[in-house]
Protein backbone atom coordinates (compact mmCIF):
# COMPACT_ATOMS: atom_id res chain seq x y z
CA UNK A 1 0.00 0.00 0.00
CA UNK A 2 2.83 2.38 0.87
CA UNK A 3 4.46 1.69 -2.50
CA UNK A 4 1.19 2.39 -4.35
CA UNK A 5 0.77 5.77 -2.60
CA UNK A 6 4.38 6.74 -3.44
CA UNK A 7 3.87 5.73 -7.09
CA UNK A 8 0.64 7.73 -7.35
CA UNK A 9 2.31 10.70 -5.68
CA UNK A 10 5.29 10.55 -8.08
CA UNK A 11 3.00 10.33 -11.12
CA UNK A 12 0.82 13.17 -9.83
CA UNK A 13 3.80 15.44 -9.06
CA UNK A 14 5.52 14.72 -12.38
CA UNK A 15 2.31 15.58 -14.24
CA UNK A 16 1.84 18.75 -12.17
CA UNK A 17 5.37 19.96 -12.86
CA UNK A 18 5.16 19.13 -16.55
CA UNK A 19 1.93 21.17 -16.92
CA UNK A 20 3.34 24.06 -14.93
CA UNK A 21 6.20 24.39 -17.40
CA UNK A 22 4.01 25.63 -20.24
CA UNK A 23 5.58 27.35 -23.19
CA UNK A 24 5.82 31.02 -22.19
CA UNK A 25 7.53 31.99 -25.45
CA UNK A 26 4.12 32.00 -27.14
CA UNK A 27 3.10 34.83 -24.77
CA UNK A 28 5.97 37.12 -25.84
CA UNK A 29 6.53 39.11 -29.00
CA UNK A 30 8.89 37.80 -31.61
CA UNK A 31 12.08 39.83 -31.28
CA UNK A 32 13.06 42.12 -34.14
CA UNK A 33 15.89 44.61 -33.63
CA UNK A 34 15.26 46.90 -36.63
CA UNK A 35 12.17 48.76 -37.82
CA UNK A 36 11.52 51.21 -40.66
CA UNK A 37 8.39 53.21 -41.27
CA UNK A 38 6.75 56.60 -40.86
CA UNK A 39 6.55 58.79 -37.77
CA UNK A 40 4.22 61.72 -37.21
CA UNK A 41 4.71 63.78 -34.10
CA UNK A 42 5.48 67.19 -32.73
CA UNK A 43 8.22 65.93 -30.42
CA UNK A 44 9.24 62.68 -32.13
CA UNK A 45 9.62 64.27 -35.54
CA UNK A 46 7.90 63.29 -38.74
CA UNK A 47 8.80 61.57 -41.98
CA UNK A 48 10.75 58.42 -42.72
CA UNK A 49 11.82 56.71 -39.55
CA UNK A 50 14.28 54.06 -38.39
CA UNK A 51 14.17 52.34 -35.00
CA UNK A 52 16.69 50.08 -33.27
CA UNK A 53 15.63 47.94 -30.29
CA UNK A 54 17.82 46.90 -27.40
CA UNK A 55 16.40 44.72 -24.61
CA UNK A 56 14.21 47.25 -22.74
CA UNK A 57 15.30 50.39 -24.62
CA UNK A 58 14.70 51.58 -28.18
CA UNK A 59 15.97 54.57 -30.12
CA UNK A 60 14.24 56.11 -33.15
CA UNK A 61 15.41 58.56 -35.81
CA UNK A 62 12.99 60.44 -38.08
CA UNK A 63 13.81 62.63 -41.07
CA UNK A 64 11.72 64.65 -43.54
CA UNK A 65 13.19 67.10 -46.06
CA UNK A 66 10.64 69.17 -48.02
CA UNK A 67 11.56 71.68 -50.71
CA UNK A 68 9.63 73.60 -53.33
CA UNK A 69 10.07 76.98 -55.00
CA UNK A 70 8.77 78.90 -51.95
CA UNK A 71 9.86 76.87 -48.98
CA UNK A 72 12.58 74.64 -47.59
CA UNK A 73 11.70 72.61 -44.48
CA UNK A 74 13.85 69.99 -42.79
CA UNK A 75 12.60 68.06 -39.78
CA UNK A 76 14.68 65.63 -37.73
CA UNK A 77 13.65 63.66 -34.68
CA UNK A 78 15.43 61.59 -32.04
CA UNK A 79 13.28 59.61 -29.60
CA UNK A 80 14.09 57.23 -26.76
CA UNK A 81 11.72 54.48 -25.56
CA UNK A 82 11.64 52.38 -22.40
CA UNK A 83 9.38 49.30 -22.45
CA UNK A 84 7.30 48.87 -19.31
CA UNK A 85 5.07 45.91 -20.24
CA UNK A 86 5.39 43.69 -23.29
CA UNK A 87 2.86 41.04 -24.32
CA UNK A 88 2.49 39.05 -27.50
CA UNK A 89 0.55 41.79 -29.35
CA UNK A 90 1.12 45.00 -27.37
CA UNK A 91 3.89 46.99 -25.74
CA UNK A 92 3.28 49.71 -23.16
CA UNK A 93 6.18 52.18 -22.93
CA UNK A 94 7.51 55.55 -21.84
CA UNK A 95 9.05 57.87 -24.42
CA UNK A 96 11.16 61.01 -24.55
CA UNK A 97 11.17 62.80 -27.91
CA UNK A 98 13.25 65.59 -29.41
CA UNK A 99 12.67 67.21 -32.79
CA UNK A 100 14.29 70.07 -34.64
CA UNK A 101 12.72 71.89 -37.59
CA UNK A 102 14.49 74.32 -39.90
CA UNK A 103 12.32 76.28 -42.31
CA UNK A 104 13.03 79.01 -44.81
CA UNK A 105 10.09 80.57 -46.65
CA UNK A 106 10.08 83.22 -49.37
CA UNK A 107 7.06 85.47 -49.81
CA UNK A 108 6.39 87.81 -52.75
CA UNK A 109 4.39 90.93 -51.90
CA UNK A 110 3.09 92.90 -54.86
CA UNK A 111 3.32 96.65 -54.50
CA UNK A 112 0.11 98.63 -54.56
CA UNK A 113 -0.92 99.86 -58.01
CA UNK A 114 2.16 98.25 -59.56
CA UNK A 115 1.37 94.77 -60.79
CA UNK A 116 4.82 94.14 -62.20
CA UNK A 117 6.94 95.01 -59.19
CA UNK A 118 7.02 93.21 -55.89
CA UNK A 119 8.94 92.96 -52.68
CA UNK A 120 10.53 89.68 -51.67
CA UNK A 121 10.61 88.69 -48.01
CA UNK A 122 12.42 85.65 -46.63
CA UNK A 123 11.63 84.25 -43.20
CA UNK A 124 13.94 81.70 -41.58
CA UNK A 125 12.94 79.74 -38.46
CA UNK A 126 14.62 77.25 -36.14
CA UNK A 127 12.35 75.35 -33.74
CA UNK A 128 13.23 72.74 -31.14
CA UNK A 129 10.50 70.63 -29.52
CA UNK A 130 10.91 68.30 -26.57
CA UNK A 131 8.39 65.98 -24.96
CA UNK A 132 7.78 63.08 -22.63
CA UNK A 133 4.86 60.70 -22.28
CA UNK A 134 3.43 57.22 -22.52
CA UNK A 135 2.49 55.09 -25.47
CA UNK A 136 1.21 51.75 -26.68
CA UNK A 137 2.28 49.72 -29.69
CA UNK A 138 0.01 47.16 -31.33
CA UNK A 139 1.37 44.36 -33.49
CA UNK A 140 -1.26 44.27 -36.23
CA UNK A 141 0.59 41.82 -38.48
CA UNK A 142 3.61 39.62 -37.70
CA UNK A 143 6.06 42.31 -38.84
CA UNK A 144 3.91 45.46 -38.76
CA UNK A 145 3.39 47.59 -35.67
CA UNK A 146 1.20 50.63 -35.06
CA UNK A 147 1.84 52.93 -32.12
CA UNK A 148 0.07 55.78 -30.39
CA UNK A 149 1.65 58.14 -27.86
CA UNK A 150 0.47 61.03 -25.72
CA UNK A 151 2.27 63.34 -23.34
CA UNK A 152 3.47 66.83 -22.59
CA UNK A 153 5.60 68.88 -24.95
CA UNK A 154 7.75 71.95 -24.70
CA UNK A 155 7.45 73.50 -28.16
CA UNK A 156 8.79 76.46 -30.14
CA UNK A 157 12.15 76.58 -28.37
CA UNK A 158 10.68 76.09 -24.87
CA UNK A 159 8.22 78.99 -25.23
CA UNK A 160 5.05 76.88 -24.84
CA UNK A 161 4.04 73.79 -22.91
CA UNK A 162 1.11 71.78 -24.20
CA UNK A 163 -0.32 68.30 -24.75
CA UNK A 164 1.01 66.31 -27.68
CA UNK A 165 -0.05 63.25 -29.63
CA UNK A 166 2.31 61.15 -31.71
CA UNK A 167 1.86 58.12 -33.94
CA UNK A 168 3.80 55.83 -36.22
CA UNK A 169 3.62 52.70 -38.32
CA UNK A 170 6.61 50.37 -38.68
CA UNK A 171 7.81 47.31 -40.53
CA UNK A 172 9.96 45.17 -38.22
CA UNK A 173 12.88 43.02 -39.34
Domains of the chain plus CATH, in order, are 34-172 (2.40.160.20)
Residue 8 has phi, psi (to 5 degrees) of -65, -40
Q: Which residues contact 30 (CB under 8 A, 6 or more apart)?
A: 142
User: b/e per residue, 103-123, with b = 16+ CB within 10 A?
Assistant: eeeeeeeeeeeeeeeeeeeee
The secondary structure of residue 54, as a DSSP letter, is: -
Residue 58 buriedness (CB in 10 A; 0-12 / 13-18 / 19+): buried
Coil/strand/helix, residue 113: coil
Full-model pTM: 0.79
Reported as a single tens digit per residue, the pLDDT across 127-161 is 999 999 999 999 999 999 999 999 999 999 999 99
Reported as a single tens digit per residue, the pLDDT across 20-57 is 444 445 567 888 999 999 999 999 999 999 999 999 99
Amino acid sequence: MKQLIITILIVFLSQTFSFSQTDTTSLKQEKFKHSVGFAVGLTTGYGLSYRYAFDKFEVQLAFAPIKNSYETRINTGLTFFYKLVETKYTTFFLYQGNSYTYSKSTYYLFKENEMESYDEETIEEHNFNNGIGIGIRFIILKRVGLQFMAGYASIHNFQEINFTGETGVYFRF
